[in-house]
Amino acid sequence: MDALLTELRAAAEPTRLRLLALCARGAWCVSDLVAILGQSQPRLSRHLKLLVEAGLLVRTPEGANAWFQLAPDADLARQVLARLPEEDPLLAADRRAAARLAAERARAASESFRRHGADWDELRALGLPAAAIEAATDAALPPRIGRLLDIGCGTGGLLERLAGRIDEGVGVDASRDMLALARTRLAERGLSHIAVRQADMYRLPIGDASFDAVMLQMVLHYAEDPAAALAEAARVLKPSGVLVVIDLAPHGRAELLGGAFAHRWPGFDDAGIAGWLGAAGCVPARTSTVEAALPVRVWVAERMTRPVSVPTH
């Protein structure tokens, strides 16, 4: 009863209700919320702190900022928000201001990509069949997934596409510009059960055995140490969870190494991936190939329920 009363008291204030309505539609930092609501940062910070302490919002640090989003298990908040009239003038004004801010954030991120000559749609840049790769991804994953982690999520396209199959999704990427576009994409589509955050794939800010499925799609060929990246992915995977790696098969395209594409590896063979997965505590389950000018390989592995025994000498 105490927990319920704490949540009710936290939600029962006009500004905090507006904050909940905004954070149910996407992730926002304090400066964003200051611009949308037109209130001072100290005032909003106090409200946000109370909502986080009540378990209605989650706070995700990222560099000098922190992002706020509706907590996955904040069922009471969702029930309250469902009773708010869509036509309420104040809430409608908040939504318009949030849409303008998200559009500006996406525009700035897109301009940053253009200035640096980056193309974040690698499948298109390499001439790979996106539809066939999507179909292979769908076949590699269970029909229904509790918690999914997308390592190297980019602009959030994979998370958006799988949103209907997952209870909760998390994407991590090293690029703030990528994440700005991902947050805009997810907010526009109202996918409040998906969050993204900045993180290093070698040091994920995530507890052990936290996810039912982990994805690395077209990420491993950028890794300085693929074995370490797979070991970290396996660490956050639950026992019997599924690890899916989608990447290029061995190829002779030297121009992809360094230069504009900056690949670190010329594709991967089955033996190399299987060895790294085994060392990470995963059992390779099945593989498939997407035929293209650059063949794409799909490796599916399961997390062992018992630790790997390392022989001693």
Q: What is the pLDDT of residue 310?
A: 41
- Tell me how crowded residue 221 is: count the other CB atoms within 10 A of its CB: 20
CB 90 within 8 A of CB 21: no
Question: How many whole angstroms separate alpha carbon 179 and alpha carbon 60?
Answer: 13
What DSSP string runs through 45-113?
HHHHHHHHHTTSEEEEEETTEEEEEE-TT-HHHHHHHHTS-TT-HHHHHHHHHHHHHHHHHHHHHHHHH
Q: What is the pLDDT of residue 110?
A: 61
Write the pLDDT tens digit of every residue in 210-254: 999 999 999 999 888 999 999 999 999 999 999 999 999 999 888
Q: Is the dihedral of CA 126, 131, 132, 138 positive or negative?
A: positive
CB 243 within 8 A of CB 233: yes
Q: What is the mean pLDDT of residues 141-157?
A: 94
CB 148 within 8 A of CB 215: yes
Q: What is the pLDDT of residue 299?
A: 97
Q: What is the pTM of this model?
A: 0.74
